[in-house]
């Protein structure tokens, strides 16, 4: 039995001055970080490194297109992953303080 649930579409992101430029930086920073991670790896990655690099370049181009030309639909990756990372860091700091 198939159950289909239609969700509401995500509303357009609000526009503010500088959003397009910041979105472009965010769009290229994450794929560039992946390429840098592959390049400075202490282990030889071989074909996996080449595939990850190619995928990161392809994803970066798509993200850049969306960040510049379809900016109202672009969601910041740094904001999405940064919230979770900050929550984990705060949780770890609270545990560290509790154990002192």
Q: pLDDT tens across 60-81, in order?
A: 999 999 999 999 999 898 888 8
How much is the pLDDT for 55? 96
Q: What stretches in the chain show pLDDT beneath 50?
A: none
- Separation between Cα atoms, residue 58 and residue 1, nearest integer Å: 38
Q: Which residues, 6 or more positions from 20, have their beta carbon under 8 angstroms from its beta carbon?
A: 67, 68, 71
Question: Look-up: residue for tokens 């609270």?
Answer: 94
Global confidence as pTM: 0.75
Check the CA dihedral 42-82-65-22 and report its sign: negative
Q: Choose among 31, 28, 37, 16: nearest CA to 65.
A: 28
């Amino acid at each position: 039995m198939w159950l289909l649930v239609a969700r509401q579409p995500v509303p357009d992101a609000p526009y503010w001055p500088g959003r397009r430029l910041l979105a472009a930086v965010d769009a290229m920073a994450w794929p560039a970080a992946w390429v840098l991670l592959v390049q400075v790896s202490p282990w030889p990655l071989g074909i996996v490194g080449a595939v990850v690099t190619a995928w990161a370049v392809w994803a970066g181009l798509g993200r850049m297109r969306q960040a510049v030309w379809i900016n109202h639909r672009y969601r910041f990756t740094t904001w999405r992953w940064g919230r979770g990372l900050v929550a984990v860091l705060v949780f770890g700091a609270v545990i560290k303080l509790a154990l002192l």
